[in-house]
Each structure stands twice: as C-alpha cells, then as structure tokens.
Amino acid sequence: MTDTVDTGPMRAADGTPLKVSLARALRRQKIRALALVAPLLIFVLVTFIAPIADMLFRSVENQIVHDTLPNTVRALADWDPSSAETPGEPVYAGLAIDLQTAAEMKAHTRLGSRLNYEDPGISSLFRQSGRNVDDFGKAAMKELVAADPAWKDGATWGNLLGTDKWVEAQTAWGADKTGLQPAFKARSGVAGTLPRTLGAYALFAADARESGRKSALESKPWPALATALEQDLRAAAPESLSALEGIDTALLARTRDAVDAAAPVDYRADFLAMDKDWASPDVWRTIRVFSPQYTAGYFLNSIDLEKTYEGITKRPPEERIYVTLFVRTLWMSMLITFCCLLLGYPVAWLLANLRASTANVLMILVLLPFWTSLLVRTSAWKVLLQQQGVINDLLVWLGLVDDGHRLAMINNQFGTIIAMTHILLPFMILPLYSVMKTIPPSFLRAARSLGATPWTAFWRVYFPQSVPGIGAGSILCFILAIGYYITPELVGGTQGVFISNRIAFHISSSLNWGLAAALGTILLAAVLLLYYVYDKIVGIDNVKLG
Amino acid sequence: MDSRTGGDAAFVAFEHVQKSYDGETLVVKDLNLAISKGEFLTMLGPSGSGKTTCLMMLAGFETATHGEIKLNGRPINNIPPHKRGIGMVFQNYALFPHMTVAENLAFPLEVRDIGKSDREAKVKRALDMVQMGNLGGRRPAQLSGGQQQRVALARALVFEPELVLMDEPLGALDKQLREHMQFEITRLAHDLGITTVYVTHDQTEALTMSDNIAVFDDGRIQQLAPPTVLYEQPMNSFVAQFIGENNTLLGTVKEIRGDLAVVELDDGELIDCKPVNVSKAGERTKVSIRPERVEFNKARLKPGAHTLKAEVLEFIYMGDIFRTRLRVAGNDDFVVKTRNAPDQVRLQPGQQIEIGWLPQDCRALDA
C-alpha cells in the first residue's frame, strides 16, 4: 500500500480522476437501464405525450382561414367589421383568387366546415360558390390568351415566376418523371410586382408536385392564375414590370395593355350574383374574426362564450350547454367517488381483516366484475333498472310501487351514478385494501386497551391511517369517472351524460376536433387543478397504493 | 405442579380456564393461576405454548372458552377490553404513527375525559418517568427502537392502571438495550407497585425480571415458582430442559430410599439422585444435572459417592467460564462448566476423567 500525497482530485489506481473512472464504470449500466426502458419510453411518447401535445395544439390552431384565403384576409384587414356595409372591392377580388385556388385544391369545403362551427350555414355558401368561382378565371384566361396564346402554355407561367434553375430542373424531371418534382423557387423581384400571381402559382406548383403525374410546366394552368395576373397587371406600375429581369417583358407589356383596355371586372357584383349571402356583413365578420392563425374561439365555445367582432360575448341561452355539462360531470364524479368510498370502505376492511381463505373468496367477488366486460355490466344494469326491469317488477310485486308509476331509474342521472359506482368500485377497494393490509391489528387492540371504545379506536386510530388509501382510491375513481364515456352514453339518457360524451360527439360526428380538443384540454386542466388542490390539502405523499 | 388456585387474596385469578380456537383442540388446558397484587409474573414458554393466548384473554381480546378470569375478585369475562383498565405494551409497541409521542400518551387520558391541564401534567410525568421528557413532540417514526419502547411503556402506565400486561416487549431490541430495559421495567414496576404480567420466550429475561415465573408448555403451566426455585429445582424434565442449560441422562430407578434414589443408567452404571418425579423402582427416568454442578475434582466429592467415567471431547474457552464437552454414559453432549479461576484445571480432549455430583443437585425427573 502506498499513501498518495498529491492534493489533487481523488484518483483511481490507474491515475484517472475518480469521478471520470466512476462515470465510465456506471455508463454501461446507465445505457443498459435506458435500453430497458426505451420501448416503454418510446411507446409513451408516441401514444401519450404526442397525442396530448397535438390535442393542446389543435385547441388553438386556426391556420386554415389564413392559409386558404390569404388575399382576402389581407384585404379584409382594412374593413371595419362594425359597419353595416359589406367590404370593398379588393376583398372580393382577393376572394375570387383564393376561392378558385381553394376549389382547385378542394380546400374550400374544409374551410366552409371550419367556419360553419362559428356561423352555421356558411359551409353551403362556400361549397356552392366554389363550384362556379372558376368562371372568373375562365373569362380572365380568355382575355390573356386573346392578348397572347402563350398564356395557354404552362411553361410560360413557369418561366415568368420560377427561377431559371427551377425551370431547368423541372424540365429535366419532365424527361424521366422519376422521384419528386423539384420544389418551387420564386424568381427574385416577382414577389413585389406580381404578388397575387406568385401566391397562386406557388400553390399550383405544389399541387402539381404533390399529384406527381405532370410537371408544373406541362400542366394546364389554373384559371385562378389568370385572375391573379389580371389583378396584378392592373395594380402594377408599368416601369416595375419592365424592370423585371430575365423574363419576357414584352409579353407582359402586351398583356398589360390588353388588360387595361378591357373593362375591369366587378367582383363584388359577380359574387352577389353568385350568392346573395356574400352581401351579408355577418359572413365577413366571421371570416375576419377567425382569420388569425391562432384563436381562443374553441375555448370560448367550451365555456359557452363566443368571439364576435365586438369582443367576447355570452352565447344565446339555448346554446349554452358546456358549462352545465362540466359542472354536472364534476359533481356527479364526486358523488360517484363518494358512493364508492361509502360502499368500498367496509368491504376493504373485511378483506384486510378476515381469515385468508375467506378473504380470498371475497376478493374474487370484488374482482369478478372487474374481469367482466364493461358493456355486459352496463347492459346488466339496463336489464335491472329499466321500467319493465327486474327491480321495478320486484317492487310492483311487493306492492311498494304502483304498476302505473314504475320508477324511472335508467336513462337519467340515477342510472349513471348506480352503474358507474358499480364499475369503479374495485378501483376504490383495491387501494384501500392494500393500505389497510399494512395497518397492524395491534393498533386497534392498543387503542382499546388504552380505554377507547370500538368506535373511538376506529375513528382516532384506524381511520387516520387508512386516509392514504382513501386518497389513492378517490383520486383513481374520480379521475376515471370524470373521463368516463361508455356507461353514461348507455345508461345516462340526456340528463346523465358527461362532458366526455360531448367530446366523443365532436370527434366522431360533428368532426369539430378543435372544440373537442378545447373541451378535452379544459377537462385535463380541471383534473390537474384538482390534483394540485388535493396535494395542497391532503399531500400527495399521503397517497399509497400499497 | 405448583399452580395455586386463586383465592380472594389474588388480584388476578384464572380459574379452570380453557381456550379453543377451532373447537377441536385446546390451546389452553385447565389453567389455574393466581397473581397477587404488586407481583411481577412472567409467562415463559416456547411459541405455541398458550402464554400469549392467556395474556390476550386477560386483556379481553380473546374470550375464554371455559372457566373464569377474575380481576380484583370480579369476573371480567364479559367486560370489553376498554373497560378493564389494564395497561398493555405490545410486541411491536403499536405506537400510533399519526400522533406525536405526547399525543400517544394523551390518548388514554383523552378517552377517559381527563381535563387538558391534568392531562398535560400526567403526560409530562409519564415521559419524565421513562426519561423521554424532551421528545414529546416527535413522531414514533423519528425515535429509535429503545425510545419507542419507553414511549410504549409510558403510554401503558400513564393512566395509572393497576395491572400492566407486556407481550414480549423487548423482542425487537438489541442485546445491550434489552438488558438495560429489563432493569428499567422491573424498577418501574416495583417503584409504582403495579402488578405486571410479562410474556416472553427468553428465559434469561424471565429469570432476571420476575418475582414468579409460570412456565407454559402444551397449554398448561408446567411449573410456577420464583426464579431460583425454578432453576435449581425444576419439577419436570421440560422445565429442566427449558430453563438454563441442562445435562440429561436416561436410566431406570433402581431403588428409592427417602431422599435418595439410585438410578441405573442405560449403560449399567449407578448414580445417586434426588427423586422428584419418580415414585417407585423400575420407572424410567430422565436424570438432570446442571453443568456447573458437575464435579471432577474427587477431593470435593463426598466419600462413597457414585462417580461416572467420562471422556473429554472438546474444551471451549469462553472467557469467564470454560465449557467442556464430555462423553458420559453414551451421551456425547454432556457439558461441564467451570469458572475461569487461577487454580482451575483445563481439561484436554481425549483425557479420561471421573465425574460426580452431590445427590441433591442431580434430579430424577419424568422420562
């Protein structure tokens, strides 16, 4: 043995610092541990964290209006929504381009559905207008082709708006058509002079790239491009057009002259002719209010408010349902949890204190419903509780209830509470049991030997020690209850349904996923809040599952 | 058997008590026991001997299947535990984990509706009594095993019961602490003049602490006697085996002459014994001799006393004593203990010696 005299860091036998050596020694273990948990970690990330993050995002996301109607939204910014007037011509002109491109990409119906959540009826307006809106484009295209037939050719548009490199690459792709078309790159300077055309063409090129059959240069140009170019040419100063480099400026100048010579299109009048609803300021208000990329609208809907141009207002009374549902879900979940506790505590006590053989039989009785299909159990309650069901028949037979006044015990809140208490009971009993199992019987004996009556011994000594089990069971039951869906759906009728039934409705029937996400987020937040409150009052350390 | 039947003088009395859990076997068989006031009685026995059941019947947690238990002359069979006013210390202390030490001690006073100031004074006095005065605010989990033990003791005493039951209270402590607590408990019991019934399976504990020891086996009291009597004059071979170390030789009674019995061992040798559990010649007997009463220095034996040949098998040096294992009359586990005195002989393995003893130290017991 040699004594080390250096005062530096502790070193291992081979001279490396002890910390480095230790880290190296533990690294393998750490990697192995990580590898062992990796499948679960990935599973949880993919199936749990990611969906929750996506849900949280969906509850505020609102890019569809901004992305589908870029020109309209831009022009609409100048309009005063409180006026009774419809917006000016630029808005309609923008809409003519946007709606055409949207119709080409079949996006207008989706947009219509989105706005329909806020203003019912708007979706048919979008659907019908989308059908005829390319009339604008066809007329404009005719005009352009009259000025120069080259506009019929996709290559003309590509040369005008894309970089030379992109056109080259695109031509090369057209020769063998393997792989993905090169992504569109805008020619410099065009964005300032021909913004609408460029915007529409970017969508056109992306659409061609996605379909993948024909090169953007070979595809038939969208009529929307003609509308956009016509508007751009009217708006652009002649000198800015001729200043563009690398393109056929003569073609542009020629076309511009032809466009100028023709009478300007009255987009507003044409849209009103298409559908008189375009004259309604309400439609434009809706579009304007929901034009930002992110919105609190879904959350406001979730608490029976709505977002209008005047700010946040209450929904009309007949449309207020969610607050009621949230409150109902919360108090019924609490009631169900309480019922579970009331019924489960004595059972858990018996389980923990009976002889092992008897306790095992009882445990199987507790677990048996647990192993039975949820649907079977719920259906069984239907059989028992319905007006012509077992319990009513029995009560009538006993003469306790008149045959004409059978009790309504199902398809209402009573039914939901009964069935859910039954279903969630094991979740209360099991944590209670595992905690009670750890309380030695000598505590009760000690209390009694010290002079406490059986009740005092229970209340002062046994009960406080079972509180962690009560906490665990209650949290488990409550959280399960608050998100329960199938049972309330089957036995709840209209008065006994929970917020989760509404969420399911929006997910699968109305397809308003944003609202469903907002409702879900609120539910999640409510649970987390209750959890926090519970932690503050009882202390989460006081929760024991065994 | 030496069981006394409880008269009016007895503070605690078991009268013909039987206990069965399953209706088929008796755990306690016809128990008669009287404990006088202020006595420290230990119930000693192997596990399953019925001692804890007796304690639980006395505390009221088990009911006697037959017979009567009296406390202060009053039958208590039908009085629930909380009305018996008996203090009890449990094996694992059973301190309430959600209460502080002081709250634990105040509990029996609270349920007795004792006023707050009175209560506090009593709690303080009880804590001081076990030298825990400054730890009243702690939780049981923050205390060491010995401290928990003291609190449990204080809690059993704080409401001033006349009878305290202790169910193997020192089982979880290490040796040194256990010895210290043994002393503390006996001191407290005597100072306060409380009657104590103490259950243990540790014979040393029983011998050092008790006024009287009741040795349990097979649901019966095998012997009830003060420690010295129990050790030196065991009444049957179970007690002789169970208490202390013991050498056993098997043989047949040859003849009994008053206070002396001659026993022929199985290998034909004759020895002198004191007849205890044998009455006539021809009976099989187990002869019991304590290891420290065996003598191999002939000078110290009575002239004419029977001696036995022995071969030394092993010599173990234990510091204060020497433990020598011998082969005697075919028994390889015959042990002799000698004091480590300057003039003491240290026997060598293989050595052939002769051993003997005073007849009164050698007891002929039941086979």
What are the pLDDT digits (tens) for A455-476? Answer: 999 999 999 999 888 988 998 8
How many Cβ atoms from other residues are within 10 Å of residue B77's Cβ? 13
Identify whether the C-beta of residue A209 lies closer than 8 Å to the C-beta of residue A264: no
Q: Which of A442, A452, A464 sits opposite B94 (nearest CB)?
A: A442
Same domain, A379 and A427: yes
Q: Give residue B1's pLDDT.
A: 38
Same domain, A107 and A151: yes
With bands split at pLDDT 50, 70 and 90, how would you rate the model's confidence at B96? very high
Same domain, A406 and A524: yes
Q: Does A276 touch chain B (CB under 8 A)?
A: no
* Closest-approach residue (CA) in chain A for B94: A443
Q: Which of B82, B91, B108 sits opposite A453 (nearest CB)?
A: B82
Q: Is residue A314 part of a domain?
A: no
Dist. CA A537–CA A107, nearest whole Å: 51
Q: In what order do the strands lie in the sheet with B331-339?
A: B331-339, B321-328, B308-317, B352-355
Q: Does A456 touch chain B (CB under 8 A)?
A: yes
pLDDT (tens digit, 9 = 90+) per residue, B252-280? Answer: 998 888 888 888 888 888 888 888 888 88
C-alpha separations of A251 from A1, A142, A144, B152 in Å: 95, 16, 10, 105
With bands split at pLDDT 50, 70 and 90, how would you rate the model's confidence at B228? very high
Q: Give residue A121's pLDDT.
A: 86
Instruction: Record the tokens describing residue B23, joined without a space.
Output: 């209706």
Q: From the CA of A498, how many Å to the nearest CA of chain B?
A: 39
Statement: residue B71 has pLDDT above 60: yes
Q: Which of B85, B94, B111 sits opposite A440 (nearest CB)?
A: B94
Please give the share of chain B, as a percent, with pLDDT higher than 70: 97
Cβ contacts of B88 on chain A, cutoff 8 Å: 445-446, 449-450
Same domain, A192 and A336: no
Q: Where are the alpha helices (DSSP H) in B16-115?
A: 51-59, 101-110
**What CATH number is associated with residue A388?**
1.10.3720.10
C-alpha separations of A442 from A353, B47, B104, B216 in Å: 12, 18, 14, 23
Task: Please indicate whether, in this complex, the C-beta atoms of A443 and B96 are within 8 angstroms of each other.
Answer: yes
Identify whether the C-beta of residue B189 lies closer than 8 Å to the C-beta of residue B222: no
Statement: residue B5 has pLDDT above 50: no
Q: Is residue A304 part of a domain?
A: no
Q: From the CA of B113, how many Å to the nearest CA of chain A?
A: 11
> What is the longest distance spanned by two Cα atoms in chain A?
110
Cβ contacts of A446 on chain B, cutoff 8 Å: 88, 90, 94, 96
pLDDT (tens digit, 9 = 90+) per residue, A354-393? Answer: 888 999 999 998 888 888 888 898 889 988 988 888 899 9
Q: Give residue A5's pLDDT.
A: 53
pLDDT (tens digit, 9 = 90+) per residue, A444-459? Answer: 999 999 999 999 999 9
Q: Give residue A7's pLDDT.
A: 61
State mean pLDDT over A232-244. 84
Q: Give residue B12's pLDDT.
A: 93
* Closest-approach residue (CA) in chain A for B165: A449
Q: Does A27 touch chain B (CB under 8 A)?
A: no
Residues 42-61 of B with CB under 8 A from A: 59-61
State mean pLDDT over A227-237. 88
Cβ contacts of B159 on chain A, cutoff 8 Å: 450-451
Cβ contacts of B21 on chain A, cutoff 8 Å: none
Residues 126-185 of B with CB under 8 A from A: 155-156, 159, 165
Statement: residue A1 has pLDDT above 70: no
* Closest-approach residue (CA) in chain A for B164: A449
Same domain, A225 and A259: yes
Q: Which of B80, B92, B111 sits opposite A450 (nearest CB)?
A: B111
Same domain, A112 and A254: yes
Q: Does B96 touch chain A (CB under 8 A)?
A: yes
Instruction: Using CA atoms of A26, A28, A32, A38 in order, give the dihedral in degrees to the nearest 10.
Output: 90
Write down the mean pLDDT value for chain A.
88
CA end-to-end distance (rounded Å), chain A: 50
Statement: residue B167 has pLDDT above 60: yes
Q: Does B315 touch chain A (CB under 8 A)?
A: no
Q: Which of A442, A447, A453 sits opposite B92 (nearest CB)?
A: A442
Burial class (CB in 10 A: 0-12, 13-18, 19+), A162: buried
Q: Give residue B7's pLDDT.
A: 45
Same domain, A178 and A122: yes
Instruction: Record the tokens describing residue A341, joined without a space.
Output: 């506790």
> What is the longest distance spanned by two Cα atoms in chain B?
76
Q: Is residue A305 part of a domain?
A: no
Domain that holds residue A12: 2-57
Q: From the CA of A451, how many Å to the nearest CA of chain B?
A: 4
Q: Is residue A369 part of a domain?
A: yes
Q: Which of B130, B109, B113, B111 is nearest to B121 (CA)?
A: B109
Same domain, A504 and A490: yes
Q: Is residue A311 part of a domain?
A: no
State mean pLDDT over A147-155. 88
Task: Please indicate whether, in this complex, the C-beta atoms of B112 and A446 are within 8 angstroms of each other.
Answer: no
State mean pLDDT over A199-206. 91
Statement: residue A486 has pLDDT above 70: yes
Task: Please indicate whether, in this complex, the C-beta atoms of A449 and B111 are within 8 angstroms of each other.
Answer: no
Task: Please indicate whether, in this complex, the C-beta atoms of B108 and A453 are within 8 angstroms of each other.
Answer: no
Dist. CA B103–CA B101, nearest whole Å: 5
pLDDT (tens digit, 9 = 90+) per residue, A75-109? Answer: 988 888 888 888 888 899 999 999 999 999 889 99
User: Which of the pair, A236 or B16, is modelled with greater confidence?
Assistant: B16
Best of B61, B86, B149 to mutate (most A CBs within 10 Å, chain A): B61
Q: Which of A451, A454, A456 sits opposite B159 (nearest CB)?
A: A451
Statement: residue B6 has pLDDT above 80: no
Cβ contacts of A355 on chain B, cutoff 8 Å: none
Give the H/E segment covering residue A178. Answer: none
Best of B88, B91, B114, B160 to mutate (most A CBs within 10 Å, chain A): B88
Task: Please indicate whether, in this complex, the C-beta atoms of B97 and A465 are within 8 angstroms of each other.
Answer: yes
Q: From the CA of B28, how many Å to the nearest CA of chain A?
A: 21
Task: Please indicate whether, in this complex, the C-beta atoms of B82 and A448 are within 8 angstroms of each other.
Answer: yes
Q: Give residue A546's pLDDT.
A: 54
State mean pLDDT over A421-437. 91
Burial class (CB in 10 A: 0-12, 13-18, 19+), A227: buried
Q: Give residue A243's pLDDT.
A: 81
The size of the A-B interface in CB pairs under 8 A is: 67
As for how many domains chain A has, the answer is 3
Best of A443, A450, A461 to mutate (most B CBs within 10 Å, chain B): A450
Q: In what order do the strands lie in the sheet with B74-75?
A: B28-35, B12-19, B66-71, B74-75
* Closest-approach residue (CA) in chain B for A464: B98
Q: Give residue A85's pLDDT.
A: 83
Cβ contacts of A448 on chain B, cutoff 8 Å: 60-61, 80-82
Cβ contacts of A454 on chain B, cutoff 8 Å: 80, 82
State mean pLDDT over B235-239. 90
Same domain, A40 and A125: no
Q: Give residue B92's pLDDT.
A: 87
Q: Tell me if residue B255 falls in helix, strand or coil.
A: strand
pLDDT (tens digit, 9 = 90+) per residue, A393-420? Answer: 999 999 888 888 888 888 889 999 999 9
Write down the mean pLDDT value for chain B.
88
Q: From the CA of B21, how many Å to the nearest CA of chain A?
A: 13
Please give the share of chain A, as a percent, with pLDDT higher than 70: 98
Statement: residue A335 has pLDDT above 70: yes
Q: Which of A447, A449, A464 sits opposite B59 (nearest CB)?
A: A449
Q: Does A470 touch chain B (CB under 8 A)?
A: no
Phi-psi region of A349 (alpha: psi -120 to 50; beta: other; left: phi over 0): alpha
Q: Give residue B2's pLDDT.
A: 40
Residues 48-87 of A with CB under 8 A from B: none
Identify whether the C-beta of residue B106 lies closer than 8 Å to the C-beta of residue B119: yes
Instruction: Answer yes or no: pTM beyond 0.90.
Output: no
Best of B111, B123, B159 to mutate (most A CBs within 10 Å, chain A): B111
Same domain, A53 and A68: no
Same domain, A218 and A327: no
Q: Does A441 touch chain B (CB under 8 A)?
A: no
Dist. CA A306–CA A518, nearest whole Å: 13
Q: Give residue A420's pLDDT.
A: 92
Statement: residue B8 has pLDDT above 70: no
Please give the share of chain B, as a percent, with pLDDT higher than 90: 47
Task: Please indicate whether, in this complex, the C-beta atoms of B112 and A451 are within 8 angstroms of each other.
Answer: yes
Q: Which of A57, A74, A102 is the last residue of a domain?
A: A57
Same domain, A42 and A83: no
